[in-house]
Amino acid sequence: MEVLGERTQNFRQLLNRQLRLNDHSITGHVIHVDRFGNLITNITHDSIDTIAHGRTFTVHFGRETVGRIFPNYTQVDDGDCCCIYNSQGQLCIGINKGHAAELLGLGFDSHVDVRFYPGS
């Protein structure tokens, strides 16, 4: 075993976090923080479309709330927080020209909610 690396006593348990969906919300988690500090979640574009049925929604994480999904991070002012879908269709949280993980105090396994509202 020593050929593979140093012996450790610090183990990290990986949890299999599944989405929780109901008629009015989706609950997910941050599953990765990229090198730019963007927070990638396990919430997908498809899961939001499936529950939304044309309704408005807000994304809640930490103390922040975002009311729409933008095409890219540069669509908001420098330092503003926003959500986008990445090329794999995952909901991502970022800050234009900022490190979201550090500035928001969020990281792997942080809680993210999408809440849906009646009407259009």
pLDDT tens column, 32-53:
999 999 999 999 999 999 999 8
Whole-angstrom distance, CA of residue 93 vs CA of residue 100: 7
Residue type, 8: T
Write the pLDDT tens digit of every residue in 68-106.
999 999 999 999 999 999 999 999 999 999 999 999 999
Strands 25-33 and 111-116: antiparallel
| Whole-number Å distance between alpha carbons of 49 and 54 | 8
CA distance linking residue 1 with residue 55, whole number of Å: 54
Q: Tens digit of pLDDT for each residue in 52-65?
A: 988 999 999 999 99
- pTM for the whole structure: 0.84
